């Protein structure tokens, strides 16, 4: 497994219990006694942008919860092309297939500097046997991952190029302040099945129209309502 030399430390238990992401993540429904059992084997990880968390076929002996950043899950086809299966945002669980398989099914790459919690499979299996709370959470997370993948493939592979780029912006939106950090144009093209040039042209158009207002090179304030119209999702917001 290739972690690209991540920083890894055992987290402080009080900090774990206060972590806002925990409310979104795999262990949010555990009791305090359950959490005491699971805490010690969990490791903090930090990986840099473009680092590989794991490759398809790597030994799957842990799963991960993303605390910050953005992780891309990719499946490479026989012809060498790639299909982005899902983007994982903070609170998401990565590598759930480790619970039923000896190897990972996808390539996991950081699109931003990211921090994660690494959870050994043995710990999850033990809690799954002993804690009904975690068993329910595992089933919920698995279903959520399948639904997110289905939704991703539907939203990002259908419609015009403009619609796809608008949907990606909305998908990445931080609704606390209606902002997003966009991946590079080449990544956007690969995710949406369009050329890098088309992705660049549409981003430039959205900037001219005020749909995207730059904070810095890759971070933007979004005109959410305008993007929903472009994406064909304005009826969902009504």
The pLDDT value recorded for residue 4 is 44
Residue 37 pLDDT class (50, 70, 90 cuts): low
- Using one digit for the tens of pLDDT, what is the confidence trace for 143-193? 777 777 777 777 888 899 999 999 999 999 988 899 999 999 988 998 898
Residue 35 predicted with pLDDT over 70: no
Q: Given this model, what pLDDT does residue 203 score? A: 96
Which pLDDT band, with edges at 50, 70 and 90, does 20 fall under?
very low
Question: Would the pLDDT of 70 be above 60?
Answer: yes
Tell me what pLDDT residue 99 has: 84
Average pLDDT over residues 10-19: 53
Say which residue, 22 or 122, is predicted with more confidence.
122
What percent of the chain stands above pLDDT 70? 77
Question: What pLDDT, on the 0 to 100 scale, is given for residue 211?
Answer: 97
Q: What is the pLDDT of residue 24?
A: 46
Give Cα 3 to chain centroid, integer Å.
17
120: left (phi over 0), alpha (psi -120 to 50) or beta: beta
Token output for 85: 């299966």
Name residue, tokens 């990002």.
Answer: 156
194 or 36: which leads in pLDDT: 194
- Would you state the structure tokens that stand for residue 196, as one six-digit string? 């890098």
Residues 6+ apart with CB under 8 A from 190: 82, 84
**Phi, psi at 33, each rounded to 5°:** -65, -40
User: Which among 199, 145, 138, 137 has a CA at the least distance from the CA of 167?
Assistant: 199
Condensed to tens digits (0 to 9), the pLDDT of residues 91-136 reads 888 998 898 899 999 999 999 999 998 988 887 787 777 776 666 7
pLDDT confidence of residue 130: 73
Task: Tell me the pairing of strands 93-94 and 219-222.
Answer: unpaired
Distance between CA 206 and CA 227 in Å, rounded?
9
> Is the pLDDT assigned to residue 199 strictly greater than 90?
yes
pLDDT category at 84 given cuts 50, 70, 90 is: confident
Separate counts of helices (H) and strands (E) for the chain? 9, 12
Q: Mean pLDDT check: name the lowest of 15-29, 37-51, 145-159, 219-233.
A: 15-29
- If one compares 142 and 218, the residue with the highest pLDDT of the two is 218
13 vs 75, higher pLDDT: 75
What's CA 105's distance to the chain center, in Å?
A: 15
Domains and CATH numbers, the chain: 7-155 (2.60.120.10), 158-237 (1.10.10.10)
């Amino acid at each position: 497994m290739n972690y690209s030399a991540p920083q890894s430390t055992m987290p402080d238990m009080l900090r774990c219990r206060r972590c806002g992401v925990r409310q979104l993540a795999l262990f949010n429904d555990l009791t305090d006694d359950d959490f005491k059992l699971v805490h010690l084997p969990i490791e903090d990880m930090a990986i840099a942008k473009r680092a590989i968390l794991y490759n398809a076929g790597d030994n799957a002996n842990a799963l991960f919860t993303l605390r910050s950043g953005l992780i891309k899950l990719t499946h490479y086809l026989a012809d060498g092309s790639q299909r982005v299966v899902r983007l994982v945002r903070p609170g998401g669980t990565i590598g759930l297939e480790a619970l039923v398989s000896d190897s990972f099914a996808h390539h996991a790459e950081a699109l931003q500097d990211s921090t994660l919690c690494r959870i050994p499979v043995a710990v999850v299996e033990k809690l799954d046997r002993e804690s009904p709370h975690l068993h329910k959470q595992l089933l919920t997370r698995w279903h959520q991952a399948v639904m997110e993948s289905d939704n991703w493939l539907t939203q990002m592979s259908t419609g015009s190029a403009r619609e796809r780029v608008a949907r990606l912006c909305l998908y990445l939106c931080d609704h606390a302040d209606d902002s997003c950090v966009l991946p590079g144009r080449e990544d956007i093209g690969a995710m949406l099945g369009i050329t890098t040039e088309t992705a660049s042209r549409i981003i430039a158009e959205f900037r001219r129209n005020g749909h995207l207002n730059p904070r810095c090179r890759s971070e933007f304030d979004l005109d959410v309502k305008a993007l929903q119209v472009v994406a064909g999702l304005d009826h969902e917001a009504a």
